[in-house]
Protein backbone atom coordinates (compact mmCIF):
# COMPACT_ATOMS: atom_id res chain seq x y z
CA UNK A 1 0.00 0.00 0.00
CA UNK A 2 3.06 2.30 0.06
CA UNK A 3 2.27 3.01 -3.56
CA UNK A 4 -0.62 5.13 -2.29
CA UNK A 5 1.87 7.50 -0.70
CA UNK A 6 3.32 8.32 -4.13
CA UNK A 7 2.39 11.56 -5.81
CA UNK A 8 0.98 11.40 -9.32
CA UNK A 9 4.38 12.42 -10.70
CA UNK A 10 6.19 9.71 -8.70
CA UNK A 11 3.67 7.04 -9.63
CA UNK A 12 3.83 8.11 -13.28
CA UNK A 13 7.61 7.76 -13.31
CA UNK A 14 7.36 4.22 -11.93
CA UNK A 15 4.59 3.30 -14.35
CA UNK A 16 6.58 4.56 -17.31
CA UNK A 17 9.62 2.56 -16.22
CA UNK A 18 7.48 -0.55 -15.71
CA UNK A 19 8.37 -0.71 -12.00
CA UNK A 20 4.70 -0.82 -11.05
CA UNK A 21 1.49 -1.51 -12.93
CA UNK A 22 -1.68 0.50 -13.18
CA UNK A 23 -3.61 -2.54 -11.98
CA UNK A 24 -1.50 -2.64 -8.81
CA UNK A 25 -2.23 1.05 -8.19
CA UNK A 26 -5.93 0.61 -8.83
CA UNK A 27 -6.21 -2.47 -6.63
CA UNK A 28 -4.37 -0.70 -3.82
CA UNK A 29 -6.70 2.28 -4.23
CA UNK A 30 -9.78 0.04 -4.12
CA UNK A 31 -8.50 -1.59 -0.91
CA UNK A 32 -7.91 1.89 0.54
CA UNK A 33 -11.45 2.89 -0.40
CA UNK A 34 -12.73 -0.18 1.42
CA UNK A 35 -10.71 0.71 4.52
CA UNK A 36 -11.60 4.41 4.67
CA UNK A 37 -15.14 4.69 3.32
CA UNK A 38 -16.85 3.62 6.56
CA UNK A 39 -15.24 6.69 8.16
CA UNK A 40 -15.31 9.36 5.47
CA UNK A 41 -17.95 8.39 2.86
CA UNK A 42 -16.09 10.17 0.08
CA UNK A 43 -17.57 8.13 -2.76
CA UNK A 44 -21.12 8.14 -4.08
CA UNK A 45 -20.23 5.23 -6.36
CA UNK A 46 -17.13 3.03 -6.64
CA UNK A 47 -16.40 1.69 -10.11
CA UNK A 48 -14.23 -1.29 -9.13
CA UNK A 49 -14.82 -3.49 -12.17
CA UNK A 50 -14.58 -0.66 -14.72
CA UNK A 51 -11.43 0.67 -13.04
CA UNK A 52 -9.66 -2.70 -13.11
CA UNK A 53 -10.57 -3.12 -16.77
CA UNK A 54 -9.28 0.38 -17.61
CA UNK A 55 -6.08 -0.33 -15.63
CA UNK A 56 -5.44 -3.52 -17.58
CA UNK A 57 -5.93 -1.62 -20.83
CA UNK A 58 -3.51 1.08 -19.64
CA UNK A 59 -0.92 -1.55 -18.71
CA UNK A 60 -1.25 -3.17 -22.12
CA UNK A 61 -0.81 0.17 -23.89
CA UNK A 62 2.24 1.09 -21.83
CA UNK A 63 3.77 -2.36 -22.39
CA UNK A 64 3.34 -1.76 -26.13
CA UNK A 65 5.15 1.58 -25.84
CA UNK A 66 2.02 3.68 -26.26
CA UNK A 67 2.57 5.89 -23.21
CA UNK A 68 0.02 8.71 -23.05
CA UNK A 69 1.68 10.87 -20.40
CA UNK A 70 1.81 11.37 -16.64
CA UNK A 71 -1.84 10.53 -15.97
CA UNK A 72 -1.67 7.21 -17.81
CA UNK A 73 -2.80 4.47 -15.44
CA UNK A 74 -3.34 6.84 -12.48
CA UNK A 75 -6.45 6.24 -10.30
CA UNK A 76 -8.59 9.37 -9.92
CA UNK A 77 -12.02 10.32 -8.58
CA UNK A 78 -14.60 12.45 -10.36
CA UNK A 79 -17.21 14.56 -8.62
CA UNK A 80 -20.67 13.10 -9.07
CA UNK A 81 -21.78 16.28 -10.81
CA UNK A 82 -19.88 15.27 -13.95
CA UNK A 83 -21.69 13.15 -16.52
CA UNK A 84 -20.31 9.66 -17.00
CA UNK A 85 -21.74 7.73 -19.93
CA UNK A 86 -23.94 4.86 -18.78
CA UNK A 87 -22.88 5.38 -15.16
CA UNK A 88 -25.24 6.98 -12.61
CA UNK A 89 -24.74 10.72 -12.11
CA UNK A 90 -26.96 11.90 -9.29
CA UNK A 91 -25.40 15.21 -8.17
CA UNK A 92 -26.03 14.29 -4.55
CA UNK A 93 -29.78 14.53 -5.06
CA UNK A 94 -32.66 12.12 -4.61
CA UNK A 95 -34.34 14.15 -7.34
CA UNK A 96 -31.77 12.86 -9.85
CA UNK A 97 -31.63 9.28 -8.55
CA UNK A 98 -30.87 6.78 -11.28
CA UNK A 99 -29.98 9.37 -13.95
CA UNK A 100 -27.78 7.70 -16.58
CA UNK A 101 -26.10 10.21 -18.91
CA UNK A 102 -25.66 9.23 -22.53
CA UNK A 103 -22.27 10.94 -22.77
CA UNK A 104 -19.19 11.85 -20.73
CA UNK A 105 -18.51 15.34 -19.40
CA UNK A 106 -15.61 17.06 -21.17
CA UNK A 107 -13.42 16.70 -18.07
CA UNK A 108 -14.13 12.97 -18.02
CA UNK A 109 -13.33 12.69 -21.74
CA UNK A 110 -10.05 14.51 -21.21
CA UNK A 111 -9.08 12.36 -18.23
CA UNK A 112 -9.85 9.20 -20.20
CA UNK A 113 -7.90 10.54 -23.21
CA UNK A 114 -4.93 11.14 -20.90
CA UNK A 115 -5.18 7.52 -19.74
CA UNK A 116 -6.35 8.22 -16.18
CA UNK A 117 -8.42 5.51 -14.50
CA UNK A 118 -11.66 6.67 -12.90
CA UNK A 119 -12.16 4.67 -9.70
CA UNK A 120 -15.41 6.30 -8.64
CA UNK A 121 -17.78 9.22 -8.41
CA UNK A 122 -17.13 11.42 -5.39
CA UNK A 123 -19.83 12.85 -3.14
CA UNK A 124 -21.12 16.36 -3.74
CA UNK A 125 -23.45 18.57 -1.77
CA UNK A 126 -26.85 18.42 -3.47
CA UNK A 127 -26.61 20.05 -6.93
CA UNK A 128 -23.30 21.58 -5.71
CA UNK A 129 -25.29 24.27 -3.90
CA UNK A 130 -23.32 23.66 -0.73
CA UNK A 131 -26.16 24.08 1.74
CA UNK A 132 -27.21 20.58 2.80
CA UNK A 133 -25.20 18.22 5.02
CA UNK A 134 -23.47 15.60 2.85
CA UNK A 135 -22.58 12.14 4.16
CA UNK A 136 -18.86 12.83 3.65
CA UNK A 137 -16.70 13.54 6.68
CA UNK A 138 -13.38 15.30 7.06
CA UNK A 139 -10.36 13.07 6.49
CA UNK A 140 -8.53 14.56 9.49
CA UNK A 141 -11.42 14.32 11.92
CA UNK A 142 -14.54 12.44 10.87
CA UNK A 143 -16.60 14.48 13.34
CA UNK A 144 -15.84 17.58 11.32
CA UNK A 145 -17.07 19.30 8.19
CA UNK A 146 -15.35 18.13 4.97
CA UNK A 147 -15.90 21.34 3.00
CA UNK A 148 -17.97 21.49 -0.09
CA UNK A 149 -19.44 21.09 -2.45
CA UNK A 150 -16.60 18.89 -3.78
CA UNK A 151 -16.59 17.21 -0.36
CA UNK A 152 -15.80 13.69 -1.54
CA UNK A 153 -13.02 14.84 -3.85
CA UNK A 154 -11.21 16.64 -1.02
CA UNK A 155 -11.64 13.81 1.49
CA UNK A 156 -10.67 11.08 -1.00
CA UNK A 157 -7.42 12.78 -2.03
CA UNK A 158 -6.51 13.40 1.62
CA UNK A 159 -7.34 9.80 2.54
CA UNK A 160 -5.29 8.52 -0.41
CA UNK A 161 -8.31 6.80 -1.83
CA UNK A 162 -7.59 8.73 -5.06
CA UNK A 163 -4.35 10.20 -6.40
CA UNK A 164 -6.25 13.21 -7.67
CA UNK A 165 -9.82 14.25 -8.25
CA UNK A 166 -12.07 16.57 -10.19
CA UNK A 167 -14.11 19.17 -8.38
CA UNK A 168 -16.31 22.07 -9.38
CA UNK A 169 -16.31 25.54 -7.87
CA UNK A 170 -19.10 28.14 -7.99
CA UNK A 171 -18.26 29.92 -4.73
CA UNK A 172 -15.24 28.03 -3.40
CA UNK A 173 -16.31 24.41 -3.83
CA UNK A 174 -12.87 23.17 -4.92
CA UNK A 175 -10.84 25.33 -2.57
CA UNK A 176 -12.85 24.80 0.62
CA UNK A 177 -12.65 20.99 0.66
CA UNK A 178 -9.01 21.31 -0.39
CA UNK A 179 -8.07 23.54 2.54
CA UNK A 180 -10.20 21.73 5.12
CA UNK A 181 -8.75 18.34 4.13
CA UNK A 182 -5.15 19.50 3.70
CA UNK A 183 -4.76 19.09 -0.06
CA UNK A 184 -4.14 21.38 -3.04
CA UNK A 185 -7.12 22.67 -5.02
CA UNK A 186 -7.17 24.87 -8.10
CA UNK A 187 -10.08 26.86 -9.48
CA UNK A 188 -8.75 27.71 -12.92
CA UNK A 189 -9.51 30.88 -14.88
CA UNK A 190 -13.09 31.04 -16.15
CA UNK A 191 -13.17 29.53 -19.63
CA UNK A 192 -9.98 27.46 -19.33
CA UNK A 193 -11.58 24.12 -18.39
CA UNK A 194 -14.79 23.04 -20.11
CA UNK A 195 -17.94 22.55 -18.05
CA UNK A 196 -19.69 20.64 -20.82
CA UNK A 197 -21.60 17.74 -19.26
CA UNK A 198 -21.46 19.05 -15.71
CA UNK A 199 -24.77 19.69 -13.91
CA UNK A 200 -24.86 23.52 -13.93
CA UNK A 201 -25.59 25.93 -11.12
CA UNK A 202 -24.55 29.31 -12.55
CA UNK A 203 -23.25 29.72 -16.12
CA UNK A 204 -20.91 32.59 -15.27
CA UNK A 205 -19.73 31.44 -11.82
CA UNK A 206 -19.29 27.66 -12.38
CA UNK A 207 -15.76 26.31 -12.88
CA UNK A 208 -14.23 22.83 -12.95
CA UNK A 209 -10.73 21.98 -11.78
CA UNK A 210 -8.37 19.59 -10.01
CA UNK A 211 -7.61 18.58 -6.43
CA UNK A 212 -4.40 16.69 -5.65
CA UNK A 213 -1.82 16.28 -2.91
CA UNK A 214 0.83 18.52 -4.45
CA UNK A 215 1.09 21.62 -6.59
CA UNK A 216 2.83 19.64 -9.32
CA UNK A 217 0.07 17.03 -9.39
CA UNK A 218 -2.50 19.82 -9.76
CA UNK A 219 -0.47 21.19 -12.66
CA UNK A 220 -0.40 17.76 -14.32
CA UNK A 221 -4.16 17.39 -13.98
CA UNK A 222 -4.75 20.93 -15.25
CA UNK A 223 -2.61 20.21 -18.29
CA UNK A 224 -4.93 17.37 -19.21
CA UNK A 225 -8.13 19.30 -18.48
CA UNK A 226 -7.39 22.69 -20.02
CA UNK A 227 -8.40 23.70 -23.52
CA UNK A 228 -11.10 25.30 -25.63
CA UNK A 229 -14.39 23.46 -26.01
CA UNK A 230 -17.08 25.01 -28.22
CA UNK A 231 -19.69 22.86 -26.49
CA UNK A 232 -19.33 25.06 -23.38
CA UNK A 233 -20.66 28.57 -24.03
CA UNK A 234 -18.22 29.97 -21.47
CA UNK A 235 -15.13 28.28 -22.90
CA UNK A 236 -12.45 30.70 -24.12
CA UNK A 237 -10.24 30.00 -27.12
CA UNK A 238 -6.85 30.65 -25.56
CA UNK A 239 -3.97 28.22 -25.87
CA UNK A 240 -3.17 26.62 -22.50
CA UNK A 241 0.34 27.21 -21.15
CA UNK A 242 2.80 24.51 -20.13
CA UNK A 243 1.94 24.34 -16.43
CA UNK A 244 4.94 22.34 -15.27
CA UNK A 245 7.72 23.97 -17.31
CA UNK A 246 8.48 26.74 -14.80
CA UNK A 247 7.37 25.05 -11.57
CA UNK A 248 10.87 24.85 -10.12
CA UNK A 249 12.08 28.28 -11.24
CA UNK A 250 11.46 29.80 -7.81
CA UNK A 251 9.57 32.90 -6.77
CA UNK A 252 12.31 35.55 -6.47
CA UNK A 253 11.26 38.80 -8.09
CA UNK A 254 7.52 38.12 -7.98
CA UNK A 255 5.20 40.53 -6.19
CA UNK A 256 2.26 39.49 -3.99
CA UNK A 257 -0.39 41.64 -2.37
CA UNK A 258 -2.16 41.33 0.98
CA UNK A 259 -5.56 42.90 1.67
CA UNK A 260 -5.61 42.94 5.45
CA UNK A 261 -8.95 44.63 6.09
CA UNK A 262 -11.02 41.82 4.70
CA UNK A 263 -8.69 38.85 4.49
CA UNK A 264 -6.72 39.14 7.72
CA UNK A 265 -9.31 40.74 10.02
CA UNK A 266 -11.30 39.63 13.02
CA UNK A 267 -13.14 36.88 11.14
CA UNK A 268 -9.88 34.98 10.77
CA UNK A 269 -8.88 32.54 13.52
CA UNK A 270 -5.59 33.70 15.08
CA UNK A 271 -3.77 30.49 14.22
CA UNK A 272 -4.93 30.73 10.62
CA UNK A 273 -3.70 34.32 10.48
CA UNK A 274 -0.34 33.25 11.92
CA UNK A 275 0.00 30.46 9.37
CA UNK A 276 -0.65 32.83 6.47
CA UNK A 277 1.74 35.43 7.91
CA UNK A 278 4.37 32.68 8.01
CA UNK A 279 3.76 31.98 4.31
CA UNK A 280 4.24 35.68 3.53
CA UNK A 281 7.42 35.79 5.60
CA UNK A 282 8.78 32.76 3.83
CA UNK A 283 7.99 34.12 0.38
CA UNK A 284 9.66 37.40 1.35
CA UNK A 285 12.73 35.45 2.43
CA UNK A 286 12.78 33.86 -1.04
CA UNK A 287 12.87 37.30 -2.67
CA UNK A 288 9.16 37.92 -3.20
CA UNK A 289 8.02 41.49 -2.63
CA UNK A 290 5.00 41.61 -0.31
CA UNK A 291 2.89 44.75 -0.64
CA UNK A 292 -0.17 45.94 1.24
CA UNK A 293 -3.16 46.63 -0.96
CA UNK A 294 -6.65 47.99 -0.32
CA UNK A 295 -9.64 46.72 -2.29
CA UNK A 296 -12.64 48.02 -0.34
CA UNK A 297 -14.95 46.74 -3.07
CA UNK A 298 -14.19 43.21 -1.84
CA UNK A 299 -16.76 43.81 0.91
CA UNK A 300 -19.49 43.62 -1.75
CA UNK A 301 -18.36 40.34 -3.25
CA UNK A 302 -20.72 38.12 -1.28
CA UNK A 303 -23.77 40.23 -2.07
CA UNK A 304 -22.91 40.35 -5.76
CA UNK A 305 -22.06 36.66 -5.94
CA UNK A 306 -25.11 35.42 -4.07
CA UNK A 307 -27.52 37.65 -5.97
CA UNK A 308 -26.22 36.26 -9.26
CA UNK A 309 -26.06 32.70 -7.96
CA UNK A 310 -29.60 32.73 -6.55
CA UNK A 311 -31.12 33.84 -9.83
CA UNK A 312 -28.99 31.59 -12.01
CA UNK A 313 -29.50 28.45 -9.89
CA UNK A 314 -33.27 28.92 -9.70
CA UNK A 315 -33.50 29.51 -13.44
CA UNK A 316 -31.41 26.38 -14.02
CA UNK A 317 -33.50 24.18 -11.75
CA UNK A 318 -36.93 25.77 -12.40
CA UNK A 319 -38.45 22.50 -13.60
CA UNK A 320 -36.69 20.37 -10.99
CA UNK A 321 -38.11 22.49 -8.16
CA UNK A 322 -41.65 22.21 -9.47
CA UNK A 323 -41.56 18.59 -10.52
CA UNK A 324 -39.27 17.03 -7.91
CA UNK A 325 -39.26 19.65 -5.12
CA UNK A 326 -40.33 17.15 -2.49
CA UNK A 327 -37.28 15.00 -3.34
CA UNK A 328 -34.86 17.87 -2.70
CA UNK A 329 -33.18 18.39 0.64
CA UNK A 330 -35.18 21.13 2.43
CA UNK A 331 -32.12 23.42 2.56
CA UNK A 332 -31.56 23.15 -1.20
CA UNK A 333 -35.26 23.61 -1.88
CA UNK A 334 -35.29 26.77 0.23
CA UNK A 335 -32.44 28.31 -1.77
CA UNK A 336 -34.15 27.46 -5.06
CA UNK A 337 -37.39 29.02 -3.79
CA UNK A 338 -35.50 32.07 -2.60
CA UNK A 339 -33.92 32.60 -6.00
CA UNK A 340 -37.35 32.79 -7.61
CA UNK A 341 -38.35 35.68 -5.37
CA UNK A 342 -35.31 37.91 -5.90
CA UNK A 343 -36.28 40.80 -8.22
CA UNK A 344 -34.76 40.91 -11.69
CA UNK A 345 -33.60 44.47 -10.97
CA UNK A 346 -31.39 43.14 -8.18
CA UNK A 347 -29.87 40.58 -10.52
CA UNK A 348 -29.19 43.29 -13.11
CA UNK A 349 -27.65 45.56 -10.48
CA UNK A 350 -25.41 42.70 -9.34
CA UNK A 351 -24.15 42.19 -12.90
CA UNK A 352 -23.28 45.90 -13.07
CA UNK A 353 -21.63 45.80 -9.66
CA UNK A 354 -19.69 42.78 -10.86
CA UNK A 355 -18.07 44.95 -13.51
CA UNK A 356 -17.03 47.42 -10.79
CA UNK A 357 -15.49 44.60 -8.76
CA UNK A 358 -13.64 43.12 -11.76
CA UNK A 359 -12.23 46.56 -12.57
CA UNK A 360 -11.15 47.12 -8.96
CA UNK A 361 -9.32 43.79 -8.89
CA UNK A 362 -7.65 44.45 -12.26
CA UNK A 363 -6.54 47.95 -11.21
CA UNK A 364 -5.03 46.58 -8.01
CA UNK A 365 -3.06 43.91 -9.86
CA UNK A 366 -1.89 46.36 -12.50
CA UNK A 367 -0.98 49.27 -10.26
CA UNK A 368 1.08 47.08 -7.91
CA UNK A 369 2.28 44.73 -10.70
CA UNK A 370 1.03 41.78 -8.62
CA UNK A 371 1.57 38.15 -9.47
CA UNK A 372 -0.93 37.15 -6.82
CA UNK A 373 -3.12 38.28 -3.99
CA UNK A 374 -2.65 36.16 -0.85
CA UNK A 375 -5.30 35.27 1.74
CA UNK A 376 -6.35 32.42 3.98
CA UNK A 377 -8.48 30.04 1.91
CA UNK A 378 -10.92 29.77 4.80
CA UNK A 379 -11.00 31.92 7.95
CA UNK A 380 -10.91 28.83 10.14
CA UNK A 381 -9.75 25.23 10.12
CA UNK A 382 -12.59 22.75 9.94
CA UNK A 383 -15.05 22.54 12.81
CA UNK A 384 -17.58 19.99 14.03
CA UNK A 385 -20.57 19.94 11.68
CA UNK A 386 -22.95 21.87 13.97
CA UNK A 387 -20.40 24.60 14.73
CA UNK A 388 -19.96 25.38 11.04
CA UNK A 389 -23.43 26.93 10.91
CA UNK A 390 -23.49 28.46 14.42
CA UNK A 391 -23.21 32.24 14.57
CA UNK A 392 -20.10 33.49 16.33
CA UNK A 393 -19.50 36.75 18.21
CA UNK A 394 -19.32 38.67 14.95
CA UNK A 395 -22.79 37.47 13.93
CA UNK A 396 -21.20 35.35 11.22
CA UNK A 397 -21.23 31.59 10.93
CA UNK A 398 -17.98 30.06 9.62
CA UNK A 399 -19.70 28.52 6.59
CA UNK A 400 -21.02 31.88 5.37
CA UNK A 401 -17.85 33.77 6.33
CA UNK A 402 -15.80 31.44 4.16
CA UNK A 403 -17.65 32.69 1.08
CA UNK A 404 -16.04 36.13 1.43
CA UNK A 405 -12.62 34.55 1.00
CA UNK A 406 -13.41 32.40 -2.00
CA UNK A 407 -16.24 33.84 -4.07
CA UNK A 408 -14.20 36.86 -5.29
CA UNK A 409 -12.41 34.58 -7.77
CA UNK A 410 -15.72 33.23 -9.10
CA UNK A 411 -16.97 36.77 -9.66
CA UNK A 412 -13.81 38.02 -11.39
CA UNK A 413 -13.04 34.71 -13.11
CA UNK A 414 -9.37 34.86 -12.12
CA UNK A 415 -7.61 31.65 -11.01
CA UNK A 416 -7.33 30.81 -7.33
CA UNK A 417 -5.20 28.09 -5.78
CA UNK A 418 -5.43 26.69 -2.26
CA UNK A 419 -2.28 25.13 -0.79
CA UNK A 420 -1.77 23.56 2.65
CA UNK A 421 0.27 25.78 4.99
CA UNK A 422 0.18 24.08 8.36
CA UNK A 423 -2.02 22.64 11.06
CA UNK A 424 -4.06 24.11 13.90
CA UNK A 425 -3.31 23.29 17.52
CA UNK A 426 -5.96 20.58 17.16
CA UNK A 427 -4.05 19.02 14.29
CA UNK A 428 -6.45 20.20 11.56
CA UNK A 429 -5.21 21.49 8.20
CA UNK A 430 -4.92 25.19 7.32
CA UNK A 431 -4.63 26.50 3.76
CA UNK A 432 -3.35 29.61 2.05
CA UNK A 433 -4.99 30.94 -1.12
CA UNK A 434 -3.30 32.62 -4.08
CA UNK A 435 -5.48 34.62 -6.48
CA UNK A 436 -3.73 35.08 -9.83
CA UNK A 437 -4.01 36.94 -13.10
CA UNK A 438 -6.46 35.51 -15.67
CA UNK A 439 -4.88 32.61 -17.59
CA UNK A 440 -1.63 32.91 -15.65
CA UNK A 441 -1.97 29.61 -13.81
CA UNK A 442 1.65 28.79 -14.67
CA UNK A 443 3.01 31.64 -12.53
CA UNK A 444 0.50 30.96 -9.79
CA UNK A 445 1.56 27.31 -9.61
CA UNK A 446 5.23 28.36 -9.67
CA UNK A 447 4.68 30.70 -6.72
CA UNK A 448 2.83 28.03 -4.76
CA UNK A 449 5.50 25.45 -5.55
CA UNK A 450 8.20 27.81 -4.29
CA UNK A 451 6.42 27.83 -0.94
CA UNK A 452 5.47 24.15 -0.93
CA UNK A 453 8.92 22.71 -1.64
CA UNK A 454 10.21 23.78 1.77
CA UNK A 455 7.42 21.97 3.57
CA UNK A 456 6.32 18.39 3.97
CA UNK A 457 2.60 19.07 4.30
CA UNK A 458 1.83 16.83 1.31
CA UNK A 459 3.41 13.87 3.07
CA UNK A 460 1.35 14.25 6.24
CA UNK A 461 -1.13 11.46 6.91
CA UNK A 462 -4.30 11.76 8.90
CA UNK A 463 -4.08 9.92 12.23
CA UNK A 464 -7.86 9.56 12.14
CA UNK A 465 -7.71 7.06 9.30
CA UNK A 466 -6.37 3.49 9.16
CA UNK A 467 -2.64 3.31 8.33
CA UNK A 468 -1.83 2.67 4.69
CA UNK A 469 -0.66 -0.88 5.34
CA UNK A 470 -4.10 -2.01 6.53
Query: Which residues participate in catalysis according to the annotation?
Result: 79, 149, 173
Closer to other proteins by Cβ: residue 287 or 343:
343
CA 102 to chain centre: 26
- The answer to the question of residue 355 lying near other proteins (CB under 8 A) is yes
From the list 77, 200, 234, 257, which residue makes contact with other proteins (rule: CB under 8 A)? 234
The contact pattern for other proteins, residues 429-448, with x = CB under 8 A and - = no contact, is --------xxx---------
From the list 291, 340, 369, 386, which residue makes contact with other proteins (rule: CB under 8 A)? 340
Q: In residues, how long is the chain?
A: 470
Cβ atoms of 194 and 227 closer than 8 Å: yes
204-223 residues in contact with other proteins (CB under 8 A) are 204
Whole-number Å distance between alpha carbons of 461 and 200: 34
The contact pattern for other proteins, residues 302-331, with x = CB under 8 A and - = no contact, is -xx-xx--x----------xx--xx---x-
Rg (CA), the chain: 21
Whole-number Å distance between alpha carbons of 63 and 51: 18
DSSP state of 19: S
Cβ atoms of 206 and 242 closer than 8 Å: no
Q: Which of 150, 236, 202, 232 is nearest to 415 (CA)?
A: 236
From the list 100, 143, 284, 356, which residue makes contact with other proteins (rule: CB under 8 A)? 356
97-136 residues in contact with other proteins (CB under 8 A) are none
Stretch that binds other proteins, among 72-80, 108-116, 246-254, 335-343 (CB under 8 A): 335-343
Cβ atoms of 101 and 130 closer than 8 Å: no
Work out the angle between the directed axes of helices 398-412 and 344-368 (0-180°, nearest 10). 70
- Shortest CB 302 distance to other proteins, Å: 8
From the list 73, 134, 200, 413, which residue makes contact with other proteins (rule: CB under 8 A)? 413
CA 452 to chain centre: 18
Count H helices and E strands in the chain, helices first.
16, 11
Stretch that binds other proteins, among 4-12, 301-309, 421-429, 446-454 (CB under 8 A): 301-309
The contact pattern for other proteins, residues 248-287, with x = CB under 8 A and - = no contact, is ----------------------------------------
Cβ atoms of 462 and 159 closer than 8 Å: yes
Binding residues for other proteins, rule: CB under 8 A, are 189-191, 204, 228, 234, 236-239, 299-300, 303-304, 306-307, 310, 321-322, 325-326, 330, 333-334, 337-338, 340-343, 345-346, 348-356, 358, 362, 366, 391, 395-396, 400, 412-414, 437-439
Amino acid sequence: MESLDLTIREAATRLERGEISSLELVEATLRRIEATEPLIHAYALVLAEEACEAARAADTEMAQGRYRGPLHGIPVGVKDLCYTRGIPTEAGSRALAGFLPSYDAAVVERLRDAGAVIVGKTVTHELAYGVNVPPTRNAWDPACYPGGSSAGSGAAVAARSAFGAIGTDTGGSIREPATLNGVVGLKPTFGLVSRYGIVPLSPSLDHAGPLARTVEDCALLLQALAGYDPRDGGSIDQTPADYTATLEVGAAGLIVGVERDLFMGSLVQPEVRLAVEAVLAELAAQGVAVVEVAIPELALMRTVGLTILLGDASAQHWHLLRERGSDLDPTTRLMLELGELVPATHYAMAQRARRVLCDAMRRTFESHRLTALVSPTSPSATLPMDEMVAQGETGEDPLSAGLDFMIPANITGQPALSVPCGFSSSGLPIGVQFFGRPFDEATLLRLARAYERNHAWAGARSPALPPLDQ
